[in-house]
């Protein structure tokens, strides 16, 4: 089937369609969509993540697309929930929330934040006090061994640090599985790299490799306790937000959104606000390997491989050596770019254009399945807001937002508009590698919101 390209939609038109009640003429439709802002906002600041947007962006979406928030409880979906920006914002606004996330560490953080809405604060206080007591008296350190299956080029923790880490896990084992135990895991996960011999530069690498010294000594318990105290204060603040009773509900599914038909009723979602992985090969799973293994969320290497397979677009490393992967749908414009990529640097074998074309094709095949599932989940007239970046692969630009818009129209969704949010982005590795070879593209990196509406 040939898909016609819609002409670009003028920003004024998009604004008109969004009908923001607070908007001054000429002001941007969405406030800062970057996660940076989340670092200051209670609850959202617990776990850093490449999030695509901030809580205020989600609030702007509620203002724009939820017609009568006081009369009805809406259902808000995030198919790629990450650490829960959309989910927490929905709960704070009194809406029910549904999230899907394949990374068990992100899903844990998302679940723990959602549970904080109704957490027993006295129980949390009591457990923090017991941990503080234990860490001061006797069980500061413990014997233990690093998790099965976890390998690192240099010791992940230095010996003095590791003994305390084992002390933390000895305490954790005294807790029953509960929302409070989850908060302890999230607190540890969010600070563990800071006292390890690794660092994010921006992907996880050894400190010496990044020119930094090893961390020989650290106060592990002090770091975890400081984080727990922030989480405790934020939880109280969250519970103080006046939301309609009974509390809104959140369902977080640690599973592939493409399988959502198993747990999500068709036509049950009023608004989806999401940011799928970008076409930049960022490896969410590898970056959280220490969290996944140390928190016992992953034990087998085969589980790791399976997560790589489920990730939207797979990864360049997993598809580059495969037989040519073709688009499973027709899109002439995209096909032309993929063919050009495939013909670039053919002398480099799997490291040349063929491998990258395979990655891009598998990304869009997965996006096709994502948009089919999204369309199925939305009520008639329901809205989907998708934040995504463009991409430059082997010197060839792919306007990902426009391709998603075209794919969406094949699945009963109407492309209401594309709004550019940010023009500057940190270059992704695939862009840098192109620059290194001197095949610079004149294109710039930017991010956009693709706004879709389910045709009634
Ligand atoms: C850009 S991040 C979203 C971050 C989110 N907006 C937040 O607030 O944290 C994309 C997320 O999609 C997840 N993901 C990738 N493939 C998935 C799939 N098939 N189903 C569900 N989640 C997936 C990744 O693990 C990653 O956390």
- Is 379 in the same domain as 311? yes
Q: Would you tell me the crossing angle of helices 104-116 and 220-240 to the nearest 10 degrees?
A: 50
Q: Computed from CA positions of residues 254, 311, 256, 307, in that sequence, does the dihedral angle turn out positive or negative? A: negative
- Is 276 in the same domain as 361? yes
- Is 272 in the same domain as 163? no
The verdict on residue 115 lying in a domain is no
Probe target for ligand 1 pocket from 276, 369, 400, with the most ligand atoms within 8 Å of CB: 276
Ligand 1 contact via 51 beta carbon (within 6 Å): yes
- Is 417 in the same domain as 294? yes
Mark which of 204, 237, 270 sits at the end of a domain: 237
Domain that holds residue 220: 121-237
In percent, the amount of the chain with pLDDT more than 90 equals 72
- Is 310 in the same domain as 196? no
Mean pLDDT, to the nearest integer, of 380-405?
96
Q: Tokens in use for 294?
A: 């140390």
The verdict on residue 3 lying in a domain is no
The verdict on residue 91 lying in a domain is yes
Residue 378: predicted pLDDT:
98
> What's the number of domains the chain is made of?
2
The verdict on residue 445 lying in a domain is yes
Which of 60-64, 132-136, 269-273, 442-446 shows the lowest mean pLDDT across its residues? 442-446
Q: Would you tell me the crossing angle of helices 400-409 and 332-342 to the nearest 10 degrees?
A: 140
Residue 153: predicted pLDDT:
94
Model confidence band, residue 298 (pLDDT cutoffs 50, 70, 90): very high
> Hey, whose CA ends up nearest to atom 27 of ligand 1?
82
Q: Give the pLDDT confidence of 238-296 residue by residue, as tens digits.
A: 998 867 678 899 999 999 999 999 999 999 999 999 999 999 998 889 889 999 999 99
Ligand 1 contact via 100 beta carbon (within 6 Å): yes
Mark which of 202, 237, 272 sits at the end of a domain: 237
The verdict on residue 223 lying in a domain is yes
> Hey, whose CA ends up nearest to atom 8 of ligand 1?
85
- Is 261 in the same domain as 365? yes
Mark which of 237, 266, 283 sits at the end of a domain: 237
Model confidence band, residue 433 (pLDDT cutoffs 50, 70, 90): very low
The verdict on residue 384 lying in a domain is yes
Residue 98 Cα to ligand 1 midpoint, Å, equals 13
- Is 49 in the same domain as 98? yes
pLDDT at residue 36 is higher than 90: no
pTM: 0.89
Which of 119-133, 307-321, 440-454 shows the lowest mean pLDDT across its residues? 440-454
- Is 147 in the same domain as 86? no
Which atom of ligand 1 lies nearest, measured to the CA of 256?
A: 20
- Is 319 in the same domain as 345? yes
Mean pLDDT, to the nearest integer, of 379-401?
96
Task: Write the CA distances from 325 to 81, 106, 316, 348, integer angstroms.
Answer: 28, 30, 12, 18
Q: State the alpha helices, DSSP H only, in 311-413.
A: 316-319, 332-342, 353-377, 400-409
Residue 78: predicted pLDDT:
98
- Is 345 in the same domain as 226? no
The verdict on residue 260 lying in a domain is yes
Q: Which residues does residue 55 pair with via DSSP β-bridges, in sequence order?
A: none
The verdict on residue 2 lying in a domain is no
- Is 100 in the same domain as 145? no
- Is 266 in the same domain as 171? no
């Amino acid at each position: 089937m040939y898909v016609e390209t819609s002409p670009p939609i003028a920003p004024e038109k998009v604004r008109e369609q969004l009908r923001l009640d607070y908007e001054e003429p000429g002001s941007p439709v969405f406030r800062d969509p970057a996660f940076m802002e989340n670092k200051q906002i209670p609850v959202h600041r617990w776990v850093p993540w490449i999030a695509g947007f901030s809580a205020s962006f989600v609030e702007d979406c509620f203002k724009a697309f939820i017609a009568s928030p006081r009369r009805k409880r809406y259902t808000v979906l995030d198919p790629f929930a990450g650490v829960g920006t959309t989910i927490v914002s929905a709960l704070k606004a009194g809406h029910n929330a549904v999230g899907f996330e394949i990374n068990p560490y992100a899903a844990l953080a998302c679940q723990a934040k959602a549970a904080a809405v109704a957490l027993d604060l006295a129980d949390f206080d009591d457990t923090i006090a017991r941990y503080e007591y234990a860490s001061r008296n006797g069980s500061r350190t413990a014997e233990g061994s690093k998790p099965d299956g976890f390998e690192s080029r240099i010791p992940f923790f230095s010996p003095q640090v590791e003994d305390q880490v084992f002390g933390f896990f000895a305490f954790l084992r005294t807790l029953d599985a509960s929302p409070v135990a989850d908060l302890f895991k999230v607190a540890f996960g969010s600070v563990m790299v800071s006292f390890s011999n690794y660092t994010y530069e921006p992907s996880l690498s050894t400190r010496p490799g990044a020119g930094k010294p090893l961390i020989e000594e650290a106060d592990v318990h002090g770091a975890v306790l400081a984080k727990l105290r922030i989480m405790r204060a934020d939880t109280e603040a969250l519970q103080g937000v006046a939301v309609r009773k009974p509390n809104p509900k959140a369902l977080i599914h640690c599973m592939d959104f493409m399988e959502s038909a198993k747990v999500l009723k068709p036509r049950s979602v009023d608004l989806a606000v999401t940011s799928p992985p970008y076409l930049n090969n960022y490896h969410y799973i590898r970056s959280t390997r220490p969290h996944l293994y140390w928190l016992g969320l992953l034990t087998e290497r085969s589980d790791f491989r399976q997560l790589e397979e489920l990730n939207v677009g797979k990864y360049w490393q997993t598809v580059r050596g495969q037989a040519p992967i073709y688009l499973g749908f027709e899109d002439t414009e995209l096909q032309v770019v993929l063919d050009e990529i495939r013909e670039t640097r053919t002398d480099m074998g799997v490291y040349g254009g063929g491998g990258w074309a395979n990655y891009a094709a598998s990304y869009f095949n997965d996006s096709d399945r994502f948009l089919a599932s999204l369309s199925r989940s939305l009520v008639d007239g329901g809205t989907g807001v998708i934040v995504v970046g463009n991409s430059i692969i082997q010197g060839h630009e792919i306007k990902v937002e426009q391709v998603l818009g075209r794919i969406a129209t094949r699945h009963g969704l109407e492309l209401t508009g594309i709004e550019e949010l940010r023009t500057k982005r940190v270059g992704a590795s695939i862009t840098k590698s192109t620059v290194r070879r001197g095949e610079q593209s004149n294109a710039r990196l930017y991010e956009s919101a693709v706004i879709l509406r389910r045709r009634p």
